[in-house]
Amino acid sequence: MQYQLIQDTLTYLINGVAISGVLAAGTTIVYQYWTQGRLQLVDGELPQEGSSQPDSIKSQVSEQKPVSIEEQLKIELNQLQQQLSFTQEQLQQTQQQLAQSHQHKLQIQSYFDAKLQQAQQQEQQAQIELSQLRQQLSSTEEELQKTQQELNSTKEGVQGFVNKMFYLDRSAKTKLKALFSNKEVSQQPTFN
């Protein structure tokens, strides 16, 4: 009788362990599919045959294994690293373009600075030449004024000389005429 009791107890324990294992496995499968959105319930019950429910749960579990948190973090970390690498490449390209633009700006600024300096030098040279021309013009005007005065003096001198010569000529003619007249009178015969 003790042997039968022991056998019944072992059978009960074996059956209990088996039932517990089945329940645990079923619970794990249901939880995995529930977390992945694969389990479809209709009015709180499993869908019947012929419905849109996928193939057997075992085949689904074997085909799609759940991803652990560690693996999910690794995947997200890998994606972030790829995005970071891509962003760094874009940043490097942008920095290169910015450096090229800055260099181009410096070249343009240097070109216009040189042109501005050249224009300022030309303006300064033009002002110097203009000042020299003004001085030459002033000197020329002074010389012209002196020449005009000399010309006026020369005209006055020539006019005075002409007047003097004309006066002398008239005086000489008068004297000659008087002289000839006196000579003719002296040559006439006298009658007693």
pLDDT digits (tens, 9 = 90+) for 167-187: 777 777 777 777 777 665 555
Question: Residue 127 and residue 125: Cα distance in Å, rounded?
Answer: 5
pLDDT in tens, 68-121: 888 888 898 999 999 999 999 999 999 999 999 999 999 999 999 999 999 999
31 domain residue, yes or no: yes
If you write DSSP's letter for every residue of 16-29 in order, what string do you get?
HHHHHHHHHHHHHH
pLDDT averaged over the chain? 74
Please state the domain count of the chain: 1
Q: Which residues pair with 151 in a beta bridge?
A: none
**The pLDDT of residue 71:** 87
pLDDT at residue number 101: 92
Q: Does the pLDDT value for residue 49 go beyond 70?
A: no
Residue 42: inside a domain: yes
Domain-located, residue 35: yes
For residue 86, tell me if it sits in a domain: no
Within a domain: 108: no
Alpha-carbon span 39 to 29, nearest angstrom: 10
Strand partners, 45: 42
Q: Which domain holds residue 60?
A: 2-66
Please give the DSSP secondary-structure letter assigned to residue 51.
S
Residue 19 lies in a domain: yes
In this structure, is residue 29 part of a structural domain?
yes
The answer to the question of residue 174 being in a domain is no
Query: In one letter, which amino acid is 5?
Result: L
pTM of the shown model: 0.36
Nearest 5 degrees, angle CA 26-CA 21-CA 32? 30
7 and 13 Cβ atoms separated by less than 8 Å: no
| H or E stretch covering 151 | helix 69-187
Q: What is d(CA 52, CA 39) in angstroms, rounded to the nearest whole number?
A: 11
